[in-house]
A and B are shown apart, each in its own frame.
Chain A
Amino acid sequence: MQQKTLFDTAHGVLSHTVLDVRNVGVTYGSREVMHDVTFSVTQGDFITIVGPSGCGKTTLLRAMAGLTTPTTGSVRFKDGAIGEPHAEVAVVFQDYNRALLPWRTVSGNIALALEARRIPRAEHAGRIAALLARVGLASYADHFPKALSGGLQQRVQIARALAQEPEVLLMDEPFGALDAMTRQRLQDEILAIWGSTPTTVVFITHDLEEAIYLGNRIIVLEANPGRIGADIRVDLPRPRNQLATREDERFLAIRHRLFGLLSSE
């Protein structure tokens, strides 16, 4: 399922930078929340960003989404600077209950992204059905968000983001509010979705294990002000497995390293 050939930058085979974060700093009033953050996101990659609360994870993601303008530095998508939200960059917010429109059904919420892209009405039903099937919501098409559990609501938001057919999917602690079992299921589903599309994912979390389990690469942010503490390559085999991967020695080694980095604060 989640087989995806990744071309290592070092081998220079095929690697395109889709998002380029350059010297990004954010200051609110006299408080510097982010200091000189620089990294680039390779096409097709799955990057996780982990850090303690107050490290500016969400600020960074908002800057990448074009929802916040950095005080210094810039975020570039391919060749253009991002000042406003970009059509090729979709966002999944943590608070699904606030990001879905309560007066629209599950289908209607997904249709929103199609309307935004000016997809002809006649194509909506078919596209929505395919997206619903993909996130396991086929039988909930006509439900209102309020009638769904948190896990199902977050699937709706993911489906809406996929309806944008973005090159980059930015996810802001999307599973942070879900229970452990639901969270693991959704982790595997997002990996499957990523594996079956050419999408690049940037995934923010405060959960160390989630960061290792999902990512090819982990960017560790330190707090006050937010800055990059480490940039770690995850060479765990795919497809990942909730039991085997988490028991892998390399997984545990990274976990130790992250724990050390984040508890030394």
Chain B
Amino acid sequence: MNARLAAIARAAVLPLAIFAVWEVLARAHALPDSLSRPSAIAGALGGELLDGSLFAMAGQTLVAATAGWLLGGALAIALGIAIGTIPLLRITVGPALELMRSVPPVALIPIALLAFGLGPKLEILMVAFAVFWPVVIFTAGGVRAIDPRMLEVARALRFSPLERALRFVLPAAAQRIAVGLRVGAGIALVVAVTTEIIANPSGIGYGIAFSATTLRPDQTFADLLALAVVGFAINALLVGGERRLFAWANA
């Protein structure tokens, strides 16, 4: 436990030093007012926490990002398994996927706005689109990496194609699929917030845009800080989940 506290203390040194220097410079008027200062940011953060607005915004962002992540992830796992299993599909669909993948998701916002209008539907679909690519690629890769011997065992035991997929292919690819989903989760948060800043007035993204345009940089920084914490927590949660789920790999 002491070692853990020491690790936290060491990790806190750099941010605290930056905040200290920032505070001093800001009070000496050596920085533009638009950069606010840590004490004001802490005050804004406290205020948003106390009146609950921060939780409401984070909740909106999390719900939209999670919905998009699940939608895009589920479709991607299904397609990834198909592509990984059926060579014909890999040859025909693969190149088109590569082309689509190189389009930055955010570049689709204007056209998506026309199609879906402002609102949570747009945000969820944007997130789903962005999450889809890493998950499809990791899933197809995981499926293709299965040891042929293992599939031979499945054949020797005379399992049906569906049983093979559920008992052998999916578990064998699960570790890579999980990595794809974790990468996708990071992307989901980025795309969700970006969409909120540009096209869906809700969530932390809107909070950031709104506070900046109303000249409340302390609030903007408070929201950014909250966003960092949310992103960190999501990643830690997924890493922890993977560790528990794949304990057998480190036996």
Contacts and interface: CB of A to CB of B under 8 A. Distances in A.
B156 A65 contact: yes
Interface in A48-105: 65, 67, 84-85, 87, 90-91, 93, 95, 98-99, 101-104
Given A95-B149, A115-B167, A102 B248 contact: yes
A67 B156 contact: yes
Chain B binding surface, main DSSP class: helix
A91 B156 contact: yes
Interface string B213-251: 000000000000000000000000000000000101101
B251 A164 contact: no
B150 interface: yes
Interface stretch (A139-147, A188-196, A201-209, A249-257): A139-147
Contacts of A115: 163, 167
B248 A146 contact: yes
Contact of A102 (B155, B157, B159, B249): B249
Interface string B133-165: 000000000000001011011011111000100
A101 B251 contact: no
Nearest to B249: A102
Contacts of A98: 147, 149-150
Nearest to B168: A101
A116 interface: yes
B150 A99 contact: yes
Nearest to B160: A116
Interface residues of B, number: 20
Contact of B159 (A67, A84, A116, A143): A116
A143 B248 CA distance: 9
A232 interface: no
Contact of A103 (B155, B159, B171): B171
Given A144-B248, A144-B251, A99 B153 contact: yes
B171 A101 contact: yes
A60 to B, nearest CB: 16
Interface in B67-125: none
A262 interface: no
A234 interface: no
Given A98-B147, A103-B171, A144-B248, A85 B153 contact: no
Interface string A100-136: 0111100000001101100000000000000000000
Interface string B170-199: 011010000000000000000000000000
Nearest to A105: B248
Given A103-B248, A146-B248, A164 B150 contact: no
Contacts of A116: 157-159
Contacts of B249: 102-103, 146
A113 B149 CA distance: 16
Interface of B: 147, 149-150, 152-153, 155-159, 163, 167-168, 171-172, 174, 246, 248-249, 251
- List 7 tightest A-B contacts by C-beta distance, closest first: A116-B157, A144-B251, A98-B149, A147-B251, A146-B251, A144-B248, A85-B156
Interface of A: 65, 67, 84-85, 87, 90-91, 93, 95, 98-99, 101-104, 112-113, 115-116, 143-144, 146-147, 164
